[in-house]
Amino acid sequence: MPSKVAEGAERGWIIPIGGAEEKENSPQILQRFVDLCGDGNSANANIVVIPTASRLSNTGARYEKIFSDLGAGCVTAMDFDTRRDCEERGRLARLESATGVFFTGGNQLRLSTMLGGTSVAKALRIMNAGGVHVAGTSAGASFISEHMIAFGEEGASPTAGMVRLAPGLGLTNRFVIDQHFRQRDRLGRLMAALAYNPFAIGIGLDEDTAAFIRPDNVLEVEGSGGVTIVDAAGIQFSSMDTAVEGQPVCMLGLVVHILIAGATFDLHTRLASAGTLNTQKS
């Protein structure tokens, strides 16, 4: 469950990224994350990179260099290969000194099985509630919320059994994330996940696109793609309870928004806004 924010304190930003974010030519997503972690001065950013989702040995070192090149004052990659690693006091002390934490892509089930229920997971929830910013790309984005899409099938329409859910990190329970969204045709599986959890909001992130979620639960879009918001709060009917494996699912009353950079969505009021796009038009 999400940790409670102390009275008078402010939760850190939560930043899921849809994967394949631009890292060289126009890395505005990663640069904004670094700037946030430095409170406006990137040199003050103290970032811990967690590459546990990836099986590539150079993933952590690559992001260390990327964030250092973007001006971060201190960057440390900390891979947790075993659950025992997640209980080491030295690792926990380094993690708890960070102003920002970044989860790389890979396999989100590696994150949930390695980190779930450990002192690292507990520390991350407490840190975010205390003001530390947490970002994740691709698998790292999926892992951030309480309800995590573990895997599923492609397709624009929901069918029974096309998605499997698992417990995530639990920084919030307000939304369910899916990534590489348009590129991998994942609208159906996000809708299917919401058929199981209609109280949550579905956030589908295109590649090179991020949802910068402020402490007041307003989502700001950054990047070159789109964010698909699927709101099932007003759902009038779902056949998920009677559909058999592979059957299409009827869902009535869904609300869908397509947001691009500059647009916003309030996760509390469930209202979307064109944001700065209105200003540009006028």
Inside any domain, residue 166: yes
Instruction: List the strands of the sheet with 175-178, edge to edge.
Output: 175-178, 201-205, 226-231, 255-260
Q: What is the CATH number of the domain that holds 190?
A: 3.40.50.880
Inside any domain, residue 128: yes
Residue 207 among the catalytic residues: yes
The CA distance from 44 to 32, in Å, is 13
Inside any domain, residue 147: yes
**pLDDT number for residue 139:** 98
Choose, from 42, 54, 112, 138, the residue flagged as catalytic: 138
Evaluate whether 273 touches 265 at the Cβ level (below 8 Å). Answer: yes
- Tell the residue number behind the tokens 């920084």, with chain if given: 171
The pTM for the full model equals 0.97
**pLDDT number for residue 2:** 86
**pLDDT number for residue 145:** 97
**pLDDT number for residue 281:** 64
Choose, from 207, 220, 222, 238, the residue flagged as catalytic: 207
Evaluate whether 109 touches 165 at the Cβ level (below 8 Å). Answer: no
**pLDDT number for residue 161:** 96
DSSP per position, 123-159: HHHHHHHTT-EEEEETHHHHHTSSEEEEEE---SS-B
Q: Which of 64, 121, 63, 54 is nearest to 87 (CA)?
A: 121
Choose, from 54, 64, 147, 180, the residue flagged as catalytic: 180
Residue 180 among the catalytic residues: yes
Integer angstrom CA distances of residue 85 from 59, 62, 126, 138, 190: 18, 21, 19, 23, 33
The CA distance from 164 to 178, in Å, is 12
Residue 268 among the catalytic residues: no
Inside any domain, residue 167: yes
| pLDDT averaged per 10 residues in sequence order, the chain, 282 residues | 90 98 96 98 98 97 98 97 97 98 98 97 98 98 97 97 97 97 98 95 98 98 98 96 96 98 97 85 60
Inside any domain, residue 138: yes
The CA distance from 15 to 211, in Å, is 6
Give the burial class of 29: count Cβ atoms within 10 A of its Cβ; 0-12 exposed, 13-18 middle, 19 or more buried: buried
Triad 78, 2, 76: Cα angle to 5°: 15
DSSP per position, 243-269: PPTT-B--EES-EEEEEETT-EEETTT
As for how many domains the chain has, the answer is 1
Inside any domain, residue 7: no
Inside any domain, residue 3: no
Inside any domain, residue 6: no
The domain of 211 spans 14-281
